[in-house]
Amino acid sequence: MRDFRLAHVLGFEIRIDASWFVIFFLVLWSFTVAVFPSRVSGLGGGVYFALGLAGSLLFFATLLAHELAHSVVARAKGIAVEGITLFVFGGVARTRSEARSPGDEFVIAGVGPLASVLIALALFGLAVAGQQLGLSIAVIVLLEYIALLNLALAIFNLLPGFPLDGGRMFRAVLWKMTGSMRRATRIATMGGRWIGYALMGLGALSALRGAVVGGLWLVLIGWFLRNAAVSTEREQMANELLEGVRADQIMTETPVAVPAELSLERFFEEIVRPSRFNVFPAVSGETVVGVVSVKSLETVSRDRWPAAQVREVMTPLSAEEIVQAEDPMPAVLDRIRASASHQVLVRDRGRIAGIITPREIATWLEHARQLEILERRAQPAKGKGA
């Protein structure tokens, strides 16, 4: 399982990706062995560990508050927010659609750094109050350091590189100026890529000069930013190539749907064996209730197949995971990204006609790219012939 549900906050589902634990323990280690010992001397190892743990939890709580600010404003702007996932470098709000206008994009992006600044001011205020109340210097240092981190986070997030908040604000301005969200995204992701390279270079230089921990963090952050920008750029290119393409042009046709009540034994013998397909729609009556794959049979021991039913191994589907044959592929791609199963079934004239998974999309995109390359190479030859 790649992620799991942590809680519901303000109506949003909070999930933690497995990669989050990597960064959590790195932050914990950094706080425990480097940050707090350098700021408060003479404390025992157990105290430094307690400070590191408290600081790590508080820091990630402020990151969650940052993402909640985005999500609350996005919901107010009419964008469906499914929840928030905390992962290796912070968090991301899971939305079903993009902002509807440059103004909405600018406000939704800008509220994140604003929230971080307000959190920093609140923590600085608590630190000052703590001094007046005579709290331990360790607690005051913890509050001040997390406040500084949030201030740094706000400033860093304002850099004009997508997918940073500043990059999204930059994209909103370009979108307003050019009238094209796609062109704006292309430029903003280019900025994110080069900022990532710059951070990696700066981090490597810092590490060589002796600031190993700080330099390593800059390299990791730059690497993540560069990869996120490249990923967004690829998604944008995919959307452009899929423009004007229908769902039924990409889908893999499927055989007759499998009754959910069918035994796994009969499913294997009567449907899987004679078929060339690996995934099948599962139905209960006339309603599609899920998909069942050949691989899912591995989850049940062979001796239980005669008694076990397809519904026990199928992946349930929601209404959002069924599209129409004529639906445009950019919209279908959004559905697949938002889907827990990362696939959709295609309905044509009332029946399930096919399935689309990332494999079908990747195959089609590679074919489209190859055609583009061949066409570009053929253009000069046409010019010479003329």
Q: Are 331 and 345 contacting, i.e. CB atoms less than 8 angstroms apart?
A: no
| pLDDT tens digits, one per residue of 240-298 | 778 788 988 888 887 678 899 999 999 999 888 888 777 788 888 777 888 888 888 88
**Alpha carbon distance 131, 327 (integer Å):** 62
Q: Are 158 and 166 in contact (CB under 8 A)?
A: yes
* Residue 128, token pair as written in the block: 């000052």
- At 217-246, the pLDDT tens digits run 788 888 888 888 888 777 777 777 787 889
| pLDDT of amino acid 386 | 42
- Say whether pLDDT at 101 is over 50: yes
CA-nearest of 116, 158, 11, 167 to 74 is 11
Q: What is the DSSP code (8-state) at residue 299?
A: G
Domain positions in the chain: 3-242, 247-358
Out of 16-25, 45-54, 191-200, pick the least confident: 16-25
Distance between CA 155 and CA 157 in Å, rounded?
5
What distance in Å separates the CA atoms of residue 156 and residue 174, rounded to the nearest whole number?
A: 20
* Residue linked to tokens 């993402």: 67
Helix (H, G, I), strand (E, B) or coil at 164: coil
Mean pLDDT (the chain, rounded): 84
| Closest of 375, 106, 365, 353 to residue 237, by C-alpha | 365
pLDDT band of 358, cuts 50, 70, 90 = confident
Say whether pLDDT at 148 is over 90. yes
**Model pTM above 0.75:** no
Dist CA 317 CA 296 (whole Å): 15
Phi, psi for residue 322 in degrees, rounded to 5: -125, 125
At position 141, the amino acid (one-letter code) is V
Q: What does 51-100 look like in DSSP terms, one character per residue?
A: HHHHHHHHHHHHHHHHHHHHHHHHHHTT--EEEEEEETTEEEEEESS--S
State yes or no: pLDDT of 367 exceeds 70.
Answer: yes
Cα 70 to the chain's mean position, in Å? 14
User: Please, where are the H alpha helices in the chain?
Assistant: 20-30, 36-39, 45-76, 102-133, 137-157, 165-178, 181-208, 212-242, 247-250, 264-266, 329-338, 358-385
Residue holding tokens 């079934």? Answer: 345
CATH superfamily of 247-358: CBS-domain (3.10.580.10)
**What count of other Cβ atoms lies within 10 Å of the Cβ of residue 249?**
11
Count Cβ atoms within 10 A of the Cβ of residue 78 and give its class: 0-12 exposed, 13-18 middle, 19 or more buried.
exposed
33 pLDDT above the threshold of 60: yes
CA pair distance 68, 114, nearest whole angstrom: 12
